[in-house]
Amino acid sequence: MSTENQSVCAVVVAAGSSRRMGGENKLLLPLCGKPVLAHTLTAFQMCGAVRDIVLVCREQDMEVYRTLAAENGITKLRTLTRGGDTRTESVLAGVSAASEACALVAVHDGARPLVSDEVITQAVAEAAKTGAAAPVVPVKDSIKRIENGKIAADVPRDTLAAVQTPQVFRRDMLLHALLDAAANGRSFTDDCAAVEALGQMVSATSGSYENIKVTTPEDIAVAEAFLYRREKK
């Protein structure tokens, strides 16, 4: 399968409620002078592996996000579509809105503004070969299994990784997995789990410790530190 840019659509999921930010829309918070979401969209705008962008969001955010995209030169934005009550529903809406000409979809958290071109292109290239790929990073901390408030056992750290986005899949494969989940009343917080539930293996590609998800106010400070370091290189 070709990895040329006409075959890849980025589905950026931005339909969350930002509860851990106290209800304030974290995607509009300033990050080095631009909203978090502007950084995220720009990463895919600048990536040669991506042809189109579909933005999944809440109804009340559509006009604000459309203006944000226009002000930041996001010309690849194909459409905005309303998200659902769960991530699975939101991703299904985004994949359904992607052009059928796009053989691959790259599902990405709107709150991961520091994703690099390298992380995107590696996942896309691997998914073009295997059908499904996601970036991961090794777990740094020691992991324990807890039972009844007590440490019950060590979990071997070298067998664990933290998964990131974009998670890239053949469009038909992910659409089938999400429709199956909807038909059976299942919801997944991770898109890999939807295709894994149908027996599809997902290839692991190299993620980045800079590819953080902005979830709490402290994450903004961390993201700004990473951006300042990039600018100095």
The terminus-to-terminus CA distance of the chain in angstroms comes to: 35
Return the pLDDT at 232.
79
DSSP 10: E
Average confidence score pLDDT of the chain:
92
Span 56-63, average pLDDT: 96
Could you tell me the pLDDT band of residue 231, with boundaries at 50, 70 and 90? confident
Spatial separation of the C-alpha atoms in residues 105 and 49, rounded to whole Å:
11
- Of 190, 202, 136, 172, give the one whose Cα is nearest residue 1: 172
- Of 117, 96, 114, give the one whose Cα is nearest residue 105: 96
| Amino acid in position 122 | Q
Tokens matching residue 52: 């189109």
Could you tell me the pLDDT band of residue 1, with boundaries at 50, 70 and 90? very low
Return the pLDDT at 5.
44
Spatial separation of the C-alpha atoms in residues 15 and 76, rounded to whole Å:
19
Instruction: Give the tens place of pLDDT for each residue, 150-183.
Output: 999 998 888 899 999 999 999 999 999 999 999 9
Task: Spell out a b/e string for 16-27, using b for 16 or more CB atoms within 10 Å of the CB, else e.
Answer: bebeebeeebbb
Spatial separation of the C-alpha atoms in residues 193 and 84, rounded to whole Å:
18
Global confidence as pTM: 0.93
Return the pLDDT at 23.
66
Spatial separation of the C-alpha atoms in residues 209 and 66, rounded to whole Å:
30
Share of the chain above pLDDT 70, in %: 94
Spatial separation of the C-alpha atoms in residues 67 and 63, rounded to whole Å:
6
